[in-house]
Amino acid sequence: MKRIALNLIVACSVLIFSCTKQGSVASEKEKPKEEKPKEETNVPSIPDGPVFPAFSGKIEIKVTFNNNPISATTSIPNLKYNKGKAILMEFDDSALTVVTAYEKLSNTYYTDGAGNKKNYNVGLAVNGRNQYHDKEIGFYTGYAATYAQRLPLIVKGMDIMNHSFYHEEKGNFNNGKDRDKNIKDLDALILLNQGYKMNTLIVPTNFVGFQTASADFGYIGGASQGTFDKFEQIGKYTPKAKLSDIKPFDYLAIRRGFSDNWSNDGSQWNLSNDLFADDSFDFFEIGTHGLKDEDAVKNFNDWIDDITLKAKDNMIFCSLREFLEYQYIKDHVTKTQTVDGNTLTITLDYSTVANKNISWYDLSLLVNSDKAISGVSINNTDFALSFNKDTKLINIAKRKIKW
């Protein structure tokens, strides 16, 4: 009888990573077939180079004009690059098909408003270990996106998100209802084996307590279809959200949409069509378990093409983290400015940015002056600088990908 029981356990050792669509779990036909996990060895998963501390210094930007201005000031736009719309997206459960998605995303662009291309990006919500045989997900070849597969996508702009060390409360291996342990243990694992520090959460299934645990741990925000704990979420009843609803925050919870239906009538099409139809909302977030077949890949690519066409370069397509870190820095950085002759000097003090897990230190500035800009310079070469003399848009960019 012991041998029969053991055989039944082995036969049932199937990877199940279930997120929710309005609280429901993935159907049986969406679950992957069991494959014996093959562990990678001696593969690169951490970027080369030294680890630099969190940036907390000051940046000085000098704007010179063709003549002495009567007045010259700057403001920080609500969205990076002064765009008007945003789409945030993530692939859940360390989905292997995020690699396939990046074949499209890394060749699809918007601009920074100053002539530079920026490819579309998403987040990858990952788990730590499988609940049935306890294999580490980052080494699970053939099913999940491994550490080595994630690294080049991180370099391109992808974010890694906390989706709980174990996905479920039950199983051969689990942390039960201990949300703090699930958040902390996965954060430590990703830091150790990916060299990456996470700063955002995707709530697994619809479990309460994860938003609270991630906020207490110091993350900047999290998303769910309907579980927000004590936080008043952005997107009160639907994923359709306004930028004006975002007030200065330490932690922000956002309602997201979800779709595994990559046919031409999936919910993602309704959201993107409505986004560009009018100005009733400014952005939405959406998640997926991935692209299960060739038809799904084709329809995903068609969706991306349709968005690019309708956006007319007035949109960013990025991870939740990239979006939230811009909002957070915008509201917490200390900006001062002085005018001397034909030069406007802008000082940005990052010491007042309390969250020290920042990956994207990017900011955009809009200059308001009665004279034309002749040049812009920055005193910190760790930050990339771009600007548009005609629109008077200035962008600075710095990303940390190794901790």
Spatial contact of 305 and 270, defined as CB atoms under 8 Å apart: no
Domains belonging to the chain, first-starting first, are 84-327 (3.20.20.370)
Look at phi and psi of residue 93 and say left if phi exceeds 0, alpha if psi is from -120 to 50, else beta: left
Other Cβ atoms within 10 Å of 374 Cβ, number: 12
Reference 275, options 286, 290, 259, 263; nearest CA is 286
CB neighbours of 299 closer than 8 A, spacing ≥ 6?
Answer: 262, 263, 264, 266
Q: What is the pLDDT of residue 28?
A: 31
Spatial contact of 243 and 83, defined as CB atoms under 8 Å apart: no
User: In the block, which residue shows the tokens 């210094």?
Assistant: 57
Residue 244 per-residue DSSP state:
G
Q: What is the pTM of this model?
A: 0.91
Q: What is the pLDDT of residue 8?
A: 36
pLDDT in tens, the chain (403 residues): 434 343 433 333 433 333 544 433 333 333 444 455 555 555 668 999 999 999 999 999 999 999 999 999 999 999 999 999 999 999 999 999 999 999 999 999 999 999 999 999 999 999 999 999 999 999 999 999 999 999 999 999 999 999 999 999 999 999 999 999 999 999 999 999 999 999 999 999 999 999 999 999 999 999 999 999 999 999 999 999 999 999 999 999 999 999 999 998 899 999 999 999 999 999 999 999 999 999 999 999 999 999 999 999 999 999 999 999 999 999 999 999 999 999 999 999 999 999 999 999 999 999 999 999 999 999 999 999 999 999 999 999 999 999 9
Give the whole-angstrom CA distance, residue 238 versus residue 226.
9
Spatial contact of 380 and 24, defined as CB atoms under 8 Å apart: no
Give the whole-angstrom CA distance, residue 331 versus residue 317.
21
> Which is it for strands 283-288 and 85-91: parallel, antiparallel or unpaired?
parallel
CB neighbours of 50 closer than 8 A, spacing ≥ 6?
Answer: none
